Amino acid sequence: MLTEAILTTAEREAVESVPTGLFIDGRTRETARTLPVLDPATGARLCEVADAGPEDGLAALDAAAAAQADWARTAPRARSEILMRAHRLLLDDTDRLALIATLEMGKPLAEARGEITYAAEFFRWFAEEAVRLDGGYMPAPGGGARFLVTRQPVGPSLLITPWNFPMAMGARKIGPALAAGCTSVIKPAEQTPLCTLALAQILHQAGVPAGVVNVVTTSDPGAVMTPLIHDPRSRKLSFTGSTAVGKKLLEQCARTVMRTSMELGGNAPFLVFDDADLDAAVEGALAAKMRNIGQACTAANRFFVQRGVLDEFAERLAARMGELPLGRGTEPGVVVGPLIDSDAVAKVTELVADARARGARVLLGGDPLDGPGHFYPATVLVDVPDEAQICHTEVFGPVASIASFDTEEEAVERANDTPYGLVSYVYTEGLRRGLRICEALDTGMVGLNQGVVSNPAAPFGGVKESGLGREGGLVGIDEFLEIKYIGVPL
Are 44 and 5 in contact by the 8 Å Cβ rule? The answer is yes
User: How many residues appear in the chain?
Assistant: 490
129, amino acid identity: E
Q: Give the active site residue among 263, 394, 465, 479.
A: 263
Cα angle vertex 318, ends 372, 269, to 5°? Answer: 95
Are 159 and 240 in contact by the 8 Å Cβ rule? The answer is no
CA 247, 384, 287, 199 torsion-angle sign: positive
CA 290, 294, 297, 301 torsion-angle sign: positive
Name every residue whose Cβ is closer than 8 Å to that of residue 378 and which is 6 or more positions away in sequence. Answer: 290, 321, 322, 324, 326, 336, 364, 365, 398
Q: What DSSP string runs through 107-127?
A: --HHHHHHHHHHHHHHHHHHH
486, amino acid identity: I
Q: How many CB atoms lie within 10 A of CB 327?
A: 17
From residue 352, give the alpha-carbon distance in Å to each of 298, 382, 399. 20, 11, 8
Are 421 and 243 in contact by the 8 Å Cβ rule? The answer is no
Alpha-carbon span 216 to 186, nearest angstrom: 6
Instruction: Provide the CB-side half-sphere exposure for 208 (13 A, CA).
Output: 34
85, amino acid identity: R
Active site residue 263: yes
Alpha-carbon span 71 to 74, nearest angstrom: 5
Bridge partner residues of 45 (DSSP) = 4, 38
Instruction: Report which DSSP code applies to 148.
Output: E
Nearest in space to 199 (alpha carbons), one of 222, 181, 179, 175: 175
Run of H or E residues at 448: strand 445-448
Instruction: Report which DSSP code applies to 416.
Output: T
Could you list the active site residues?
263
